[in-house]
Structures are given as structure tokens and as C-alpha cells.
Structure 1
């Protein structure tokens, strides 16, 4: 709620009916806060360029305060993201609030108070491929046998009109080829696991005839709740349900260890693009992927083990000193050692007048 600039005007511009004409207000002239000083060295040059680009200014001096020349918290996130990418550092958002000039932020980075991040590059497939930390957590839960399909990520797309099943099968096969995650299994090795990437496999769709919407819904629920064996199964399941000659439902079920909600949007978008191309007899318009998720997992492990893990551990050890070893939450009844997953669904209909 604090304005980033205050501009004095002799008179406020008004519309013909006497209201404030906001579009006619002049843009603030955000001058240097301390006189222009040119960047010194590569880090300051890059940061000054990022500041100026994000703020829409011709140039920014190294002593100009980011928040005094038009910056705010939303723009600060852009600066931090750009700095991380262009300088290969792990930079916290608060760093810009604590050192809000180019000179101050550069000095902070050059003094190694921020963690240096090595570039993310393709990793050799001739070595055992580790799991990312997020994947390892999911793998551990699956070893306990408690998820019961709870980590399945699913999507169902209704397809209306004449369907080219061969083109759709080819689109899905190409997506599987492009993304190693969709053909990755996870085999136990000691206390953890490794990623096993299978060769591309063809997706062959055979439409399943279903008589009613309810039958289709039951089939979808069964597909989406079917558990995966992370070591043996393909972690992508596909079904094509046919309600009529011109009405189909494409159902996808993927384990969360290789996908998430954002990934499903990417997956469906790629299927749409490839299907349109293959129906028209064109090749895939999608570029090859320079980085796969296994490359990220190797990078994450190496970065944490080399630089960040001990620092993070020491921080949280101090922060959590004296904290209780467990938290006993009040419950309405004793909880069993193994969750039953029993629950209930209550359905109701909201009338049209209310929804309107």
C-alpha cells in the first residue's frame, strides 16, 4: 500500500464528465537516488542490466536503491529469478530486501554468503541414477504400503467428433519417447533406490466400449485408483473409452513420483499438438528436450552434497533445538497402525436458480 513514487501535478487530468482520467496521468520520472555510478566488474554489470530491464529504465547505477526507483516485491521476485539463472547462484528473495542496490547485492554474492550453484547439464546414463529428494520421499512411502493409489495423478479428456485412433496412439508414443520420466522405474538398492530408464515403448490404444456415462465414470475411477508397483510397472497407464462413434474419453493415470499437476498440463498440451500434426501428416513440431528429470536429480544431489546440505542441516538443528520429539494431536478415536482409508461421499444437487 506504500506508493513507489509521488508525483506533484499542477492540476489533475479529468475526463469530459469530470472524473479522474487515470490514463492521462504522466509516468513517474524515477531519477537516480544518489547520482549515476557505472558498474564495476561482471557481477555488477549483470545485476545492473537485470535491474534496468525489470524496472523498464535505460540504466541503473550501482548505488541506486531498487525500491526507491520503482521496485516492489513482485518485481523483486523477477530480479531474483533472473539473477539465479544468469549468475548460477541460489539467491533468497530476502537478499534483495537486505541489499537493495547493485553494489550491495554484488558484494553479498561475491563474498560467498550465497550458495553458488553449478549449471544443470545432462548426466551420464552409464552410472546409477539417483532419485531426487522429492522422489525418494514418495518411494519411501510406497515401501510402507500405505499409499493405496493415493499418489496417482490422473487426467481425463473428453474427445468429441471423429477420432483418428492411430494418430492419437502415435502422439502418445512420441510423448513417451520424448520424456524419460514416463518410462522410468525405481528399483531398490540398499536403503534407497535408483532410476531405471526403459527404452521407448509404443502406446497402442484399443477403444473400450462403455454404454453409459456412469459406466465410464466407474471405469475411470478404477483406472485412477489402481496402485503402481514402482519397480515393475510402467508408471503411465492410458485408456480410451468409447461412448459413441463420435464421443471418446482419453484417461491418463501416472504415479506422482514421475509427474505432478503442472506436468499433466504439459502432457495433455503435447498430446494435443502432436495429434494435430500427425492427423495432418506432418512430423512432430516439438523440439528435443536438452534436459531430462534424471539430470535434475543428479544435479540436485551433487549440489546439496557439495555445498548446501551441511549448511541447511546446521541451520535447522539450531532452529529446532528443544522442540518436542513428537506432536500428539487430539483425535476423535484411536488411530490404527495401518490406515484403513475408509471414508464416505455425500452427493447433493444445487438447483439452477442457486447456481445462477
Structure 2
């Protein structure tokens, strides 16, 4: 019985027609973020799993043996997360950047029925804010690492956060929505606990309306939208005390923040200090570059380029398969070679970049984060070397390219603790912090969440059912067409799995595309330099995909073909990857001035004013 349940959960979460007992979760297109969803859904069915077990026992048959049965009638514990809490490493990173960040937010846009009840919506919003303590976070001060507290439920009146506007006769609805988002972000006020805004937009008595949700980035990330939006849907449809309540939150964000502070002093992490200082230490023969003056987010420049389907398709299929590598291993190999060539640097020095992860890697069996909303993102530096490969190997597609892929892959798989140790030692440990603060600040890189080959096409008419209780409620339904132009930096959408033996419906007529956006400080990088980098990036990708058609790959010690990369990232949020919702299908937005978002996509946060940036940033996504 449990095996059948897990097969059904696999199919539901991965949006595929069916899953067999011996089908691997990751082979079907799952990733580390989706494994968190699987843990949560399994608990509702009376099966206790951990993300680690899903990595170790990847099929329904194996997980049935590993899972612990718990009676569904056993009440789960809901942890009270009120009180003071320390700022997490990612929060401190934001505070250190300087500049205003009051409007620094993420947002989603949902389709709602024309007859949506405003009072019932306000009640549902109140229920969610009272249930998820982090949504009431108050930032008393951003100085000296930050001073934060979470007041008790009821301290924030949701009715004051909900606004309404009638756009029935508006001549330009997309522009109007953007204007309302711009206005809504100015109402965010972390100092007074105003971390959320909701704007209900009506479009006529029979036309479905829109619900715009904004959350300050201090309280939200890619995975969190997958929790918040289904909970809001559930609360709207179950408004009375006799209705089923929201699923408990076993571990509060406050507990998580205190846990990180404790871990920052644990030998498990302090012993990795040498790894991080060695990673960040400049090469003795490298000429140091002057640190550019940070500028506001709004003054950054952007350059976007797209790799055509004939070269993107192999990146999703044959190239990583040949080397038993993840897609991110291939992307980082190409980027390493492109940066080395563009900057005319010594390949033996390597390139130094910041990688981003969702940060919910299983910390301990006693902390269950599958229902916790908050900003969990982690950043860590990595120095990548292409081995013996040079640009000559790119232009001549020599066997050295295969060695470069293996070298990059091994570097990524030997990163300690998924990179989480770096943030702990850099921001939360006064003893280790001085050893890291004076070292170089790497460029920032967001990678797309890996897609399985079957997940390379989107059926625009498919709307998966992802309500926690498996009952589809059309009230917060998907919006399937794009909204006003916005500059979008987000991880790729995860489309539904096509039925077996059926031709998929491509999002693009000729197949998937890889889109890369380079965001840079114009005082530090010229447009010509970034354009060259983008050109070399595509050249390297094409060479790697061509190489695998003529050469065989192989295994390297850290990995095996059945094991996903432990550093696989996802999100939505910034990425190295950031979120995409499964319970709802929506557009993701994050501040004005971005390109049109796509279904399931989540973008990096933006705002009219925002934190200061000095280095370049590269965001990669599938479409």
C-alpha cells in the first residue's frame, strides 16, 4: 500500500502520468528542492521520510522499506517561533552590502475568480500570517549583524496589507499591474513588521481577476512560495474553525537561525576554514584588480543572450550523460573556459565565483524544514580550474575538454557541507570571520535547476493539481499568459513530464533554449567586455556539446550515474537557482523593469532601490 502511495506522490510532484516502483525520483526529473516537497507530502500520507533518504533510496520500492510509518491521526507538533532571533548568514550578507533594501522583495501574480470574496481573502491572509511566524518578522536594526524579533500572532492586521483596485475599464492592464506592484513595494516596512503585501485586481464581473502577492526577501525564498501559496489557497477554502487547519510547522525559522549560530562554532564547520581561505586566496602571480565602487541595484547594466535549441538540447541529454555529470557541471566548465579566455588569465589560476544554493540541505534529523517559510539561501565561493584545457581545445574540440568537465565536477563534489560552512564562518563566528572578510569578493553566479531530458518541453495547456490535500480549488488558479515586461533573472521553469510515447508540446517550436543574463557594474566592466564574454560562453557550450558526439566520457570518484550531485541547486531564488511553484501555476515577479516572466518561473528580487553591488552577476535559465 505504501509503495502505491509513493508511486502516486512521485507522479503528482513531478507532474508525470505515472511512476513505477523501480523508477528513480531523480531519473524522472526530481531534484533536491522537489525532494523537500516529497517529504512533506509523504508525511501527510503517514510516511516519515528525510531528504537524505530520498537521495539514498531513490525508488518507491526502496523508500517503502526505508520510511517510518506514522498514524495519520497522530497530531503533528507546531513550533512557536516568536521572540528574538539572530540574523542568518544570507541576511548579514544583505546588510553588509549597504544601500536601502526596504523594497527588496519577491512576488507572484495569481489568477483568481471574478467573484473572489475580499473579506474571506483577508481572513485567509490573516490565517497564513499568524501561522507562519517569519511573515511577522520585524527588523529593529541592520547594524552590527542585525537585530530581529518576531511578535506573537495577531500583532499584524492582514486587512491593512490587502488592497483592492478595479481595472475593468483600464486601457492598459499590464502597465496598470506593474504600477500597482511599484506602489505596493513602497508599503513594505521591515522596521514595523510589514513584510507582506497583497493586491486584489478585479477585471470585470465575469473576467477572472488577479492577486498580486509581494513579500520582502528577508522572509521569503524560492521554496517558500511553494508553501505560502498553497496554504493561502487552503485557508481561503477552509475559513471556519471546524475546517481542517493548516499543516503544522515542525521547525520555526527562529529555531533554524539559532541552530546556525550554534553550528558556526562546531568543529564540523570550523575545520573547513582552511578550505575557504585557500579558495579565496589570490594566486601569488595574479595582479590584484582594484575593487570597484558599489552601486545601487537600479544602476546595474544587463546583457541577455540565448543559446538556440540545437545546442541546448544536447546540454540536457547527451553531454551530461556522456560524463555522468550534472548539467551544472557542464555549464560551469564552459563558463570557466570562457572567463579565462575573455579575461586573458592563466588557466592554472582558475576563476573565482560565488555559487548560490537553496540552503535547505538536511542539517539534522531533528530539524524538519519542509514546512518552514523563510530566506534559506546560501552563498559560497568556489575556484574552478579547467585542468589542462585552454581555448585552443575549445576551437579544436580536443579530448582535453573531457578532462576539464571531470576536473570541474570533482571540484564541485568536494565542496564541504554543500557550501553552507562558508556563510557560518564568514558571518556568525567572530573567531573565523576576520580570516575571510579581507579576502576577494567573487562574482555572483546563478545556475538553472537541472532538468531531466523528459522535462524539456512545456504543455501550455497543462495545469498540475498540487493542493496539499489533493483537491483542486480553482480560486487561486494559474495565469498562463505573461504579464508586463520585466527584466527577469530566475531559474528555469520546470514543465510537466510528457506522456510516454506521445509527442510533447514544446514551449518553443524547435525545442528548449538556454538564456543567460549578465548583470554588471558599468564602472567596472565595459559593454564590449560583457558582449565578448557572452560570445565566448556560447562558443564554449557549443564546443562541449560537439565534443561529446565524438568522444566517450567516464566516471570520476565523487559520483556515480545513479547519484545526483549533492551540490545541485535549484530557485527561483537567485540561484544558483530559485523556485517554481507546483501547487499553483503563476507568473513570478520582482520589482519593475524586468522582462516578462514565464509560468513556474521565479526571479531574483529587484526593487526601485536596493542593496549595493560591486561585482558582476550571471544568471542562467532554461525556457
TM category (shorter chain) comes to 0.5 to 0.7
Q: 1:340 to 1:326 in 2, by over 3 A?
A: farther
Could you tell me which residue of structure 2 aligns to residue 209 of structure 1? 166
Q: Of 125, 135, 145, which aligns to 2:99? A: 145
- For the residue of structure 2 that corresponds to 1:231, the secondary structure is helix
In structure 2, how many angstroms separate the alpha carbons of the residues matched to 1:355 and 1:73?
25
Q: Of 202, 211, 222, which aligns to 1:250? A: 211
Q: Of 115, 125, 131, which aligns to 2:87? A: 131
Could you tell me which residue of structure 2 aligns to residue 270 of structure 1? 231
Q: 1:340 to 1:316 in 2, by over 3 A?
A: closer
Q: List aligned pairs for 1:179-194, cutoff 5 A.
A: 179-188=132-141, 191-194=144-147
Could you tell me which residue of structure 2 aligns to residue 312 of structure 1? 272
Q: Of 121, 130, 153, which aligns to 1:168? A: 121
Q: Number of residue pairs matched?
A: 244
1:42-72 Cα distance to aligned partner (Å, 9 max, x none): xxxxxxxxxxxxxx99xxxxxxxxxxxxx99
Q: List aligned pairs for 1:37-48, cutoff 5 A.
A: none
- For the residue of structure 2 that corresponds to 1:253, the secondary structure is strand
- For the residue of structure 2 that corresponds to 1:191, the secondary structure is helix
- Name the TM-score, length of structure 1 as normaliser: 0.54
Q: Of 105, 127, 130, which aligns to 1:177? A: 130
Q: List aligned pairs for 1:1-356, cutoff 5 A.
A: 128-141=84-97, 144-145=98-99, 147=101, 149=103, 151-188=104-141, 191-199=144-152, 200=154, 201-204=156-159, 205-210=162-167, 211-212=169-170, 213-223=173-183, 225-226=185-186, 228-247=188-207, 248-278=209-239, 282-323=242-283, 328=289, 337-339=294-296, 341-342=298-299
Q: Is the 8 A contact 1:181 1:293 kept in 2?
A: yes
Task: Mark the runs of 5 or more structure 1 residues left unpaired by the alignment.
Answer: 1-55, 58-70, 96-120, 349-353
* Mean CA deviation greater in 205-214 or 131-140: 205-214
Q: Is the 8 A contact 1:238 1:251 kept in 2?
A: yes
In structure 2, how many angstroms separate the alpha carbons of the residues matched to 1:337 and 1:175?
37
Q: 1:327 to 1:225 in 2, by over 3 A?
A: farther
The structural deviation recorded for 1:297 is 0.6
In structure 1, how many angstroms separate the alpha carbons of the residues matched to 2:287 and 2:257?
31
Q: Is the 8 A contact 2:82 2:151 kept in 1?
A: no
Could you tell me which residue of structure 1 aligns to residue 446 of structure 2? none
- For the residue of structure 1 that corresponds to 2:243, the secondary structure is coil
1:65-103 Cα distance to aligned partner (Å, 9 max, x none): xxxxxx99979x99xx99xx99x9x99x9x9xxxxxxxx
Q: 1:313 to 1:167 in 2, by over 3 A?
A: same
- For the residue of structure 1 that corresponds to 2:125, the secondary structure is helix
The structural deviation recorded for 1:197 is 0.7
Could you tell me which residue of structure 1 aligns to residue 391 of structure 2? none
1:198-249 Cα distance to aligned partner (Å, 9 max, x none): 2332312452222321453233331465384432341111221222234422
Q: 1:124 to 1:282 in 2, by over 3 A?
A: closer
Could you tell me which residue of structure 2 aligns to residue 11 of structure 1? none
Over the aligned positions, Cα root-mean-square deviation in angstroms equals 4.7
The structural deviation recorded for 1:146 is 5.2
Task: Mark the runs of 5 or more structure 2 residues left unpaired by the alignment.
Answer: 1-20, 40-47, 57-77, 305-483, 486-506, 510-623
- For the residue of structure 1 that corresponds to 2:211, the secondary structure is strand
- For the residue of structure 2 that corresponds to 1:208, the secondary structure is strand
- For the residue of structure 2 that corresponds to 1:153, the secondary structure is strand
- Name the TM-score, length of structure 2 as normaliser: 0.33
